[in-house]
Amino acid sequence: MKKSGGSVDEFVAAVKPAKRQRDALAMIELLREVTGREPELWGTIIGFGSCHYRSAAGSEGDAPIAAFSPRRESTTVYTLRTAAHGERLAKLGPHETGVSCLYLKDLDQVDAGVLREIVAEDYRRVLAGETGDTSYTVTG
Q: pLDDT digits over 29-58, tens only?
A: 999 999 999 999 999 999 999 999 998 888
Dihedral angle, C-alpha 30, 69, 99, 32, nearest 10 °: -20
pLDDT tens digits for range 48-98 = 999 999 988 889 999 999 999 999 999 999 998 888 898 999 999 999 999
**pTM for this entry:** 0.93
Report H helices in the chain.
8-13, 18-35, 86-92, 112-128
Exposure of 53 in the CB half-sphere (CA atoms within 13 A) = 20
Terminal CA-CA length for the chain? 14
